[in-house]
Amino acid sequence: MKKTLFLNPPSFDGFDGGAGARYQAKREITSFWYPTWLAQPAALVPGSKLVDAPAHYQTVEDVLKIAKDYELVIMHTSTPSLPNDVKCAEAIKTQNPETQIGFVGAHVAVLPEQTLKDNPIIDFVCRNEFDYTCKELSEGKPFAEIKGLSYHDRQGNIQQTPERELIHDWDAMPSVFPVYAEHLDIRNYLIGYLLNPYISLYTGRGCPAKCTFCLWPQTIGGHQYRAKSPEAVGREMAEAKAIWGSSVREYFFDDDTFTIDKKRAIAISEHLKRLKLTWSCNARGNLDYDTLKELKNNGLRLLLVGFESGNQQILDGVKKGIKLEVARKFMENCHKLGIKVHGAFILGLPNESRETIEETIRFACEVNPHTIQVSIASPYPGTELYSQAEANGWFTGDSLVANSGIQMSALQYPNLSGSEIEDGVEQMYRRFYFRPKSIIPIVGEMLADPQMLVRRLREGKEFLSYLRERHQRAASH
């Protein structure tokens, strides 16, 4: 067994681009997701170490001190962070040329040959679901015998092995909780709309939806939802409670669409109620009232819902599969039941215009989720959105993120520039939050909970800093 390090490498200050984030960027306020995509293979490799450098504010120098003792380093990368991640790999290789270094993540899964050709320092990249690929690498199995691997052979030529099958027996996958407990400081993981400290986890992978912009189903997870049984999830959550007790305030189920199988979601929620755990999850904005009520009765606090746009033509164009009227009824039911909703929106999708941005802002204010996040459409390689942008000449020529790590618009349209899309993000935040309907509930939270008071004041300061940074960037252009 090779001594194996799973590494989410250092990047931009505050950049949440690694093994858990859906949008690889520095957010408006400090946010870090758990590096679940690395923790899962780490759970399969006894004696391995997991380092999540961004969330623990570790530098390349810190990483080098750790990596010197390891034979195999498996690094997570993303499209915007790849250049920095390669520099980190070069530093590790310079320190010890015998260290084998490989990359995992959506970018290298889609572009394995290009990644290896452009970066000879990388020994291999893993394609598709890489959990068992990593396990076999740590066991010292020859590269040529490992499915789902692209690598440099001894002559420097690029070789590719056959594809690896997707994982279907998810009950056989070990829990990530012992890995979290041993290697991560849960106090460092913050998400603005969750109760902190929180824990996030996947109970399965894959999403039947066909959204053109969504990264993971199109690159690694696939469109079939493969998941653990409610009984297996119940056992894992009991394990979590045994590890952390009451110190974790909320558990977040980060499956792409946790509620797609309503019977399973309800069965899991019954275990959570028995364990007296507060929890939240991803959901689509079409869940029916009776299911919502049952989940709420079993401890559900919040739903993260991707509304994306307030324009039906845009939603149809990205194959969202949701009607605005259904989303309105869903929000009405959530308000009635007291379920908080964090609404996710995307500006800059195909068919976007100044008028549709206005429609989205009005829609968000109308349905009134508790909190929102507004992202810029990001055409990641491997997604249908990327192919559309390439075919139609929509690329601006800019990167997905600025030098500081904040999102930039990589897309522009004949009647809408990239800078107008970026301006729309700020406009939407201001108009949504600077309303009595938004301010009053948030102030109420702050007055009721001293921890929330400190946190919201910090987040407000960070948000103003984020806006200043955007204005400075706009002025320099």
Question: 252-268 pLDDT, tens per residue?
Answer: 999 998 999 999 999 99
Same domain as 144, residue 33 = yes
Contact 64, 91 (CB under 8 A): yes
Residue 473 lies in a domain: no
Which strands, in side-by-side order, build the sheet including 279-283? 198-201, 250-253, 279-283, 300-308, 340-347, 371-376
Both ends of the chain: CA-CA distance in Å?
A: 52
Is residue 35 domain-shared with residue 149, that is, in the same domain? Answer: yes
Domain-embedded: residue 97: yes
Residues 116 and 60 in one domain: yes
- Please report, as a single letter, which amino acid is at residue 174: P
Whether residue 275 contacts residue 243, with contact meaning beta carbons closer than 8 Å, is answered with no
Could you tell me if 214 and 344 lie in one domain? yes
pLDDT at residue 66 in the model: 98
| pTM score, whole prediction | 0.91
Q: How many CA atoms lie within 13 A of 25 on its CB side?
A: 21
Residues in the chain with pLDDT < 50?
24
| Buried-exposed string 125-138: b where 16+ CB fall within 10 A, e elsewhere | bbbbbbbbbbbbbb
Residues 42 and 151 in one domain: yes
Structure tokens at 284: 């689509």
* 464 part of a folded domain: no
> Are 18 and 151 in the same domain?
yes
Q: Do residues 331 and 292 lie in contact, with contact meaning Cβ atoms separated by under 8 Å? A: no
Query: For the domain that residue 64 is a member of, what is the CATH number?
Result: 3.40.50
In this predicted structure, what is the pLDDT of residue 30? 72
**Domain shared by 74 and 120, yes or no:** yes
What CATH number is given to the structural domain containing 390? 3.20.20.70
pLDDT for residue 48: 98
Residues 154 and 217 in one domain: no
Residues 198 and 150 grouped into a single domain = no
How many independent structural domains does the chain possess? Answer: 2
At 442 the pLDDT is 75
Half-sphere exposure of 15 (CA within 13 A, CB side): 30
| Owning domain of residue 219 | 189-227+250-259+278-289+299-434
Asked if residue 375 lies in contact with residue 443, where contact means CB atoms within 8 angstroms, the answer is: no
Domain contains 465: no
Q: Which of 45, 281, 91 is nearest to 183 (CA)?
A: 45
Residue 270 lies in a domain: no
Residue 267 lies in a domain: no
Crossing angle (nearest 10°) for helices 262-274 and 230-244: 30
pLDDT score, position 470: 60
The whole-angstrom separation of Cα 352 and Cα 334 is 28
Report how far residue 475's alpha carbon sits from residue 469's, in angstroms, rounded to the nearest whole number.
10
| Residues 210, 327: Cα–Cα separation, whole Å | 18
Query: In this structure, are 222 and 357 located in the same domain?
Result: yes
Residue 237 forms part of a structural domain: no
- Same domain? For 141 and 200 the reply is no
Give the torsion sign (CA, 132, 138, 143, 149).
positive
Asked, for residue 443, whether it belongs to a domain, the answer is no
β-bridge pairing 4-8 and 49-52: parallel
Q: pLDDT value at position 399?
A: 66
